[in-house]
């Protein structure tokens, strides 16, 4: 059966949206609006799999929403909402808790990393997180999921869950007229030159909201001065930029800055080296400051403006949630019928 193309993705409201979130995901969200129907979700229920201070969580939900809007996602043509306003995500996640196998979840590398050594003390939610993520996507029967590289394994699990549900309930799915597959196999859309943006202090570590040094990242809310300062202080090596892209492999800091430039500019690393190969970092950094300020400055300013009007943000989320709920309820009703629940 052919499924209608639909894009779904989620961003966690856990603070400090940075250049890595922007280039690794949000840029793609914006682009996909021209070719697909899109649903973009602030996944607040995922956020509380690790402790969140309630007032900060509220602020962060609004901040991610502001980032979506400031980056150019159109909440009228597409859907922007927060997960907890559509209860069907949690409902379908329960069904998926009963479809997914312990063995599948035991392989998830993100759980191992986040739970760390003290696994006994990790929340059950953190362990079941990938099942909720599968529900996020499949409650809309979405077909395409723009995500960073680190979410590939979770996407594969979503596909496995969709397939096992389709197999386990094949007869019931047929009998109720849904053909031979109720859920699609959602595909990851992983992108461009700087999918993995690295720390500005260490080119071998991912740019992260939890790095102790604020100089390691460019936050989306940084103003022009902060952006310039951080780029100028970014770690480099003593050599001029290479002409040949292959040489970047052994120079993580150079590779990262060239990748960031390419991604912000919508070009490739080879293009950037065509222009700056042989130059000193000082000259390249001047150009990178100009480009970063030109691209990110207006986004940060717009985010700051938007978060000052929480009523407006909350109205966007309420409208998006109502529209999302209509779609999700339709899927959930069908799932209840397929599983054999009695409903009104």
Instruction: State which residue, 61 or 147, has the beta carbon closest to ligand TRP.
Output: 147
Measured CA to CA, the distance from residue 116 to residue 128 in angstroms comes to 16
Residue of the chain from 7, 9, 32, 140 that contacts ligand TRP (CB under 6 A): 9
Which CA distances in Å does 265 have to 288, 294, 300?
A: 10, 10, 18
Active-site choice (114, 304, 325, 336): 114
Query: Which of 10, 15, 300, 320 forms a contact with ligand TRP (CB under 6 A)?
Result: 10
Tokens for 93, please give them: 């996640």
Is 206 known to be catalytic? yes
Number of residues that bind ligand TRP (CB under 6 A): 13
Structure-block tokens of residue 202: 């260490």
**207 close to 20: Cβ distance less than 8 angstroms:** yes
User: Bridge partners of 38?
Assistant: 7
User: Residue 71: how many CB atoms within 10 A of its CB?
Assistant: 19
Beta bridge partners of 188: 145
- Residue 335 is encoded by which pair of tokens? 């799932």
Binder of ligand TRP out of 91, 136, 211, 253 (CB under 6 A): 136
- 33 versus 286: smaller Cβ distance to ligand TRP: 33
Of 247, 256, 151, 248, the closest CA to residue 198 belongs to: 256
Catalytic residue among 77, 117, 152, 206: 206
* Closest CB to ligand TRP among residues 9, 60: 9
Compare residues 126 and 147 and give the one whose CB is closer to ligand TRP: 147
Nearer to ligand TRP, 145 or 332 (CB): 145
User: Of 23, 47, 64, 133, which one interacts with ligand TRP (CB under 6 A)?
Assistant: 133
The single-letter DSSP state of residue 307 is H
Active site residue 114: yes
Q: Which residue is nearest to ligand TRP (CB)?
A: 10
Whether the CB-CB separation of 3 and 166 falls below 8 Å is answered with no
77 classed as catalytic: no
Question: What is the rounded distance in angstroms from the CA atom of residue 306 to the CA atom of residue 108?
Answer: 37
- Please give the residues from 24 up to 83 whose contact with ligand TRP meets the rule CB under 6 A: 43, 46
Interface map 137-176 toward ligand TRP (x if CB under 6 A): x-------x-x---x--x----------------------
Q: By C-alpha distance, which of 136, 142, 178 is closest to 6?
A: 142
**Residues at the site binding ligand TRP, with contacts judged by CB under 6 A:** 8-10, 12, 43, 46, 133, 136-137, 145, 147, 151, 154
Catalytic positions are: 114, 206, 209
């Amino acid at each position: 059966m052919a499924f209608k193309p639909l894009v779904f993705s989620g961003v966690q409201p856990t603070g400090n949206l940075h250049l890595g979130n922007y280039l690794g995901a949000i840029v793609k969200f914006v682009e996909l609006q021209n070719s697909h129907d899109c649903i973009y979700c602030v996944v607040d229920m995922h956020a509380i799999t690790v402790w969140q201070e309630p007032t900060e969580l509220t602020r962060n939900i609004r901040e991610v929403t502001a980032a979506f809007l400031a980056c150019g996602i159109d909440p009228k043509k597409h859907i922007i909402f927060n997960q907890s306003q559509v209860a069907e995500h949690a409902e379908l996640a329960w069904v998926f808790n009963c479809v997914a196998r312990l063995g599948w979840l035991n392989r998830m590398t993100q759980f191992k990393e986040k739970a760390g050594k003290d696994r006994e003390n990790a929340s059950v939610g953190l362990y079941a997180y990938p099942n909720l993520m599968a529900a996020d996507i499949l409650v809309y029967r979405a077909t395409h999921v723009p995500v960073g590289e680190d979410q590939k394994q979770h996407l594969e699990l979503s596909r496995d869950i969709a397939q096992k549900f389709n197999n386990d309930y094949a007869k019931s799915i047929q009998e109720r007229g849904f053909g031979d597959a109720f859920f699609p196999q959602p595909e990851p859309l992983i992108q461009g030159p700087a999918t993995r943006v690295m720390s500005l202090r260490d080119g071998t570590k991912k740019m992260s909201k939890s790095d102790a040094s604020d100089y390691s990242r460019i936050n989306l809310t940084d103003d022009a001065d902060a952006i310039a300062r951080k780029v100028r202080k970014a770690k480099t090596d003593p050599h001029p930029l290479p002409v040949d892209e292959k040489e970047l492999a052994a120079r993580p800091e150079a590779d990262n800055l060239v990748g960031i430039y390419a991604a912000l500019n919508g070009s490739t690393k080879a293009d950037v080296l065509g222009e700056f190969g042989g130059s000193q970092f000082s000259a390249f950094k001047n150009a990178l400051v100009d480009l970063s300020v030109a691209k990110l400055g207006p986004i940060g300013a717009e985010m700051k403006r938007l978060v000052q009007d929480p009523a407006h943000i909350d109205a966007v989320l309420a409208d998006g949630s109502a529209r999302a709920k209509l779609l999700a309820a339709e899927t959930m009703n069908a799932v209840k019928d397929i599983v054999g629940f009695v409903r009104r």
